[in-house]
Amino acid sequence: MSKWVSLEWSSDQTRVLSGTPVHITVRLHNRSWLPLPATWLRFTLPEHVAVEGADEVRILNHRTSVRLRFDLPMRQSASRTLILIPNKRGTVWLTDVQSETLPLLGEEPTAMTLSISFSLLVYPLPLALSPVVLAESEPDGNRLSRQRQQDDPTFQRGVRSYMPGDRFKHIHWKATAKTGSLETRLFEYTAHPNWRIVGHILPSYEPLMQKYNDTTNERTISCLAALAGLCRRKSVGYELYLTVKQRGREHFHLPAGSGKAHHLHVMTQLAQIHHFVTTPLAPVLRRLEGAHGKEAILIVTPRMDPSVQASAERLIQCGHQVAVLDVSSDPVTIQRFDHARLKKRSVMMG
């Protein structure tokens, strides 16, 4: 019977945010000369996936069990439409579907296993952040470096009045004709400052505190997803550091980038963080103290303790700009560290 019956599974999306409906089309083909009445298809999905449009949906052993009924005439096909709504980040896999057909002669039902290939990547739902978070935590002025930022003549950003020393070929003649005075083109810079975003992931369970941190870590990951979206919309490049081990390394590090491919890579990594081994936050921040130039460092942590404040102050002493996002409360609070506060504190201590 398996060579006469085949299953086709298609979806309108393969990468979605948590809570986004996904439309599934299930087609069952009957190539035999016998009808197949009361054919049931059964498959299971993770418990957090809600299913609409099925004949039967039940929760069994922390799995969502789904059943569909088909009545197939001979040498014809039938289709059903389902709606899947994943409510947690991660990957939803489905590799086989169990089929059970009621025979025409009253014998025992015929069971088959139909193979399919379906995967759905669920991104974390971005946390609601204030639109001024990125602007408030942005360092004052451009990043200082030994390499001078130069104009890129490919991208023009405006015009200004002519000044002695401007190149003759950069004069905007149309704007000059309209205004009656010489106007010079302004171009975008070839280099832009990159952010360094540090995500503090806590252990799943802390025996000394007898506390589970799964909900707290999900909130931290959602905040990181929101920051990634902000950087993508603002075209700001950033590096990502996470306090989890990565293939023998003491922490996770994703190099700087600002394009679509970089954004998808970051969101994929955030969606697939499971069964991780955490590392302390202090060593990661200690490595950033030796960075060349003045960097913009944004720390996302659910635990604003004195050790985080001390690390931030050391980064300030090294010349970096530091901001801390505390995700332990709702709404998320931001705390900036600057030289003025650090100098005032040192005077009071003296």
The secondary structure of 90-134, three-state, reads EEEEEEEEEEEECCCCCCCCEEEEEEEEEEEEEECCCCCCCCCHH
Determine the pLDDT at residue 341: 54
pLDDT over threshold 90, residue 152: no
Provide the terminal-to-terminal Cα distance of the chain, rounded to the nearest Å: 87
Determine the pLDDT at residue 26: 95
Contact assessment for residue 47 and residue 36, using Cβ atoms and an 8 Å cutoff: no
Q: Radius of gyration of the chain from Cα atoms?
A: 29
What is the strand order of the sheet 49-52 is part of?
5-11, 22-30, 77-86, 49-52
Statement: 133-140+192-349 belongs to CATH 3.40.50: yes
pLDDT over threshold 80, residue 346: no
pLDDT top residue among 262 and 107: 262
Contact assessment for residue 26 and residue 82, using Cβ atoms and an 8 Å cutoff: yes
CA angle (128 as vertex; 123, 132 as ends), nearest 5: 125
The DSSP line for 29-48 is EE-SSS-EEEEEEEEEEETT
Statement: 5-123 belongs to CATH 2.60.40.10: yes
Q: Where in the chain is the domain with CATH 2.60.40.10?
A: 5-123
Altogether, the residues listed in the chain come to a count of 350
pLDDT top residue among 298 and 147: 298
| Peptide bond just before 139 cis, omega within 30 deg | no
Residues 136-152, mean pLDDT to the nearest whole number: 45
The pLDDT-based confidence of 350 (bands split at 50, 70, 90) is very low
Determine the pLDDT at residue 145: 44
Q: Where in the chain is the domain with CATH 3.40.50?
A: 133-140+192-349
Tally Cβ neighbours within 10 Å of residue 226. Answer: 21
pTM for the predicted model, two decimal places: 0.77
* Mean per-residue pLDDT of the chain: 84
What is the strand order of the sheet 110-123 is part of?
15-17, 110-123, 90-101, 36-46, 63-72, 56-60
The pLDDT-based confidence of 225 (bands split at 50, 70, 90) is very high
Determine the pLDDT at residue 186: 80
